A and B are shown apart, each in its own frame.
Chain A
Amino acid sequence: NAGVTQTPKFQVLKTGQSMTLQCAQDMNHNSMYWYRQDPGMGLRLIYYSASEGTTDKGEVPNGYNVSRLNKREFSLRLESAAPSQTSVYFCASSEELASDTQYFGPGTRLTVL
């Protein structure tokens, strides 16, 4: 059981480039989440997917898009990266949306120059 996996672990982009962060979970969870973590800010929710086929905005969705490809996979896309998107990105999953136990992946450290 790998839990929640994320790729890549590290990425450096130039301003304006695009990229997709991948996330997969093998726990048969219905709900998945994308967070960003910035120094002194804690974790902030970008988007979430309550179940396969649905996605909703979180606290800081601007500049991002998501796709719930199937029950296992939830990707985050930056269409035109900006320096303000330099952050550590975490994917998480839970059995249901209201479930308190969210399982987090190891994170992707993104730098936008």
Chain B
Amino acid sequence: GQQLNQSPQSMFIQEGEDVSMNCTSSSIFNTWLWYKQDPGEGPVLLIALYKAGELTSNGRLTAQFGITRKDSFLNISASIPSDVGIYFCAGTLTGNQFYFGTGTSLTVIP
């Protein structure tokens, strides 16, 4: 199956710090998505990207669709305790099947 690698695997940061994470694929995608999963819950969509080079924001979150179409980046500014969770990237070429990354676990220390 398709492999999506996310880094870092986990992050421990102080409240107020900025966060950066990325996702790389072995092949090109037409759509990149970023999800957040809270403990005991299903993933929730944060941002969707449709075009190489696209930069999209959702509040304190900003994501970019890499120009090679094989990577994507997520930044969180001024982190707060409720940002805690696991962040997943997902990508698709055809739209029939999305492939998910391995996740980045974020811990925010108050």
Contacts and interface: CB of A to CB of B under 8 A. Distances in A.
B41 A106 contact: yes
Interface residues of B, number: 24
For the residues of A in contact with B, the DSSP-based class is loop
Contact of A41 (B31, B43, B102): B102
A82 B88 CA distance: 27
Chain A: interface size category: 20 to 34
Interface in B1-28: 1-2, 4, 6
Interface string A1-30: 000100000000000000000000000000
B110 interface: no
Nearest to A42: B100
Given A42-B100, A42-B102, 8 more contacts: A42-B88, A42-B101, A43-B88, A48-B96, A59-B97, A59-B99, A97-B96, A101-B48
